[in-house]
Structure 1
Amino acid sequence: MINICIHGIGTPSKSVPAAEAAYWIGIDTFRRVLDQVAERTEVRLSFDDGNTSDVDVALPELVDRGRVADFFVIAGRLGHTGSLSADDLHRLRRARMGVGSHGMHHRVWRRLSPAEQHEELVVARRRLEEVLGEPVRSAACPLGRYDRATLAALRRLHYTRVYTSDRALARPGTWRQARFSIRAADTADDVAAWLRHGDRYAVRLADSARTFVKGLR
């Protein structure tokens, strides 16, 4: 199984931090990626950060192709300029898209204080649940980073699925799901290479071993 993660689509505004702008891709690249995975049922798409391009660009393209995806929202940015609004979250759900938590402030979840961890994993999810009127059960680790304590906390809080950015393959149905995050410099041809990567059995075994070890840190 291959999880592909997308962030912003189009041209990022000047308010987008440089570290995040490095993950924005062009609209044409995005469309080409969708066309490449159109018939690949083992490919799952997700979107991080909750940028308005999620509904302005991604949602119509997904609906046109009959695809669903998961959108991981930074709760602390909800309703801010350039970020999704409460109405946008309802629009995603009406289109059968999944909505999960990407924390409160887009900070790395490794080595947080107890108060910081509570804000990122509990308060952020609660804010999204209040907007949606339904449970939020999945999360994506900001910047893809995590450690053993992070994973233990997410399990303790009954998140049913957690996504990382390990640039590795994922096993269907597992609790922790590795993803390939598309960067600004990546092309649709790079994504095609990832798909070929997933067709090789030996690579699948190596990816599983590598992500297992990362969870022990």
Structure 2
Amino acid sequence: MSDVINICFHGIGTPQREMEPGEDRYWISVELFHAVLDEIRTWPSVRVSFDDGNSSDLEIGLPALLERGLTGEFYVLASRFGKPGSLSEEDVRKLHGAGMTIGTHGMWHRPWRGMDAATSRDELETARRQIEDAVGVPVDQAACPLGRYDRRLLSRMRALGYRRVFTSDRRRARAEDWLQPRYSLRREDTVDGLRAEALVGPGALTRLKLEAVGVVKRLR
């Protein structure tokens, strides 16, 4: 089974909305974004995704992808449709019309681990339906907000028919696995550092530690 490297972006350029605590670390410059795309387009197996439904996805992300012949997966928040600095329903349709995949990031950008029944319905079902209504096609992929998950959540998502679920565990994925770890770009990252971490990869001991962390999350 072959490996795939999942690269995740959040905000690009200057934020057009008020950020949540700690979110600024995941906003990167346009220059770094373009440099990373130029780097990863040469890699043998890579997927590109965008979380949070920021307006920069359409304004900066989409043109850069198309210019390089790349596609992306966009994980949007239903509650932010049409809000300043965020994608509108029409924007999501434009992304889909350009050949991009649309997935769900939930309703309110809150952790999915430990949700009660009402919150779970809101995040995993209601938000999904609203995104499906916006884009006009079924939505069967999801990205866990803040990268948090546990066994109960994953079981619920399987039961709801999600085809693939993405996390933020910063390690390679096996291409056909249902649960997909990703490398989220941070403002302090560099192209050389990303290449060393994701393409070259860590040593055997570090790799085993990263895989062990994922096992603990899935089983807790």
Code of the residue aligned with 2:165 in structure 1: it is: V
Matched with 1:80 is: 83
Once the two structures are TM-superposed, the CA of residue 18 in structure 1 deviates from its matched residue by 3.3
Structure 1 residues 22-58: Cα deviation after superposition (integer angstroms, max 9, x where no partner)? 2000000000000101121311110000000001001
Range moving further from structure 2, 104-113 or 202-211: 202-211
What aligned pairs does 1:121-160 form with structure 2 within 5 A after superposition? Answer: 121-160=124-163
Matched with 2:201 is: 198
Matched with 2:7 is: 4
SS across alignment from 2:129: helix
Q: 1:169 aligns with which of 172, 182, 191?
A: 172
Q: 2:44 aligns with which of 38, 41, 44?
A: 41
TM-score (normalizing by structure 2): 0.93
CA distance in 2, matches of 1:179, 1:197: 15
Matched with 1:103 is: 106
Residues 17 and 85 of structure 2 are in contact (CA less than 8 Å); yes or no, is this contact kept in structure 1? no
Residues 147 and 215 of structure 1 are in contact (CA less than 8 Å); yes or no, is this contact kept in structure 2? yes
Range moving further from structure 2, 34-43 or 191-200: 191-200
Residues 169 and 208 of structure 1 are in contact (CA less than 8 Å); yes or no, is this contact kept in structure 2? no
Code of the residue aligned with 2:27 in structure 1: it is: W
Once the two structures are TM-superposed, the CA of residue 209 in structure 1 deviates from its matched residue by 4.1
Residues 11 and 28 of structure 2 are in contact (CA less than 8 Å); yes or no, is this contact kept in structure 1? yes
RMSD: 1.7
Q: 1:213 aligns with which of 204, 213, 216?
A: 216
2:35 corresponds to 1:32:
yes
Q: What residue ranges of structure 1 are gaps of 5+ in the alignment? A: none
SS across alignment from 1:215: helix
Code of the residue aligned with 1:129 in structure 2: it is: E
Residues 147 and 169 of structure 2 are in contact (CA less than 8 Å); yes or no, is this contact kept in structure 1? yes
Q: 1:119 aligns with which of 94, 119, 122?
A: 122
State the number of aligned residues.
Answer: 217
CA distance in 2, matches of 1:199, 1:31: 25
Code of the residue aligned with 1:170 in structure 2: it is: A
Q: 2:190 aligns with which of 187, 192, 201?
A: 187
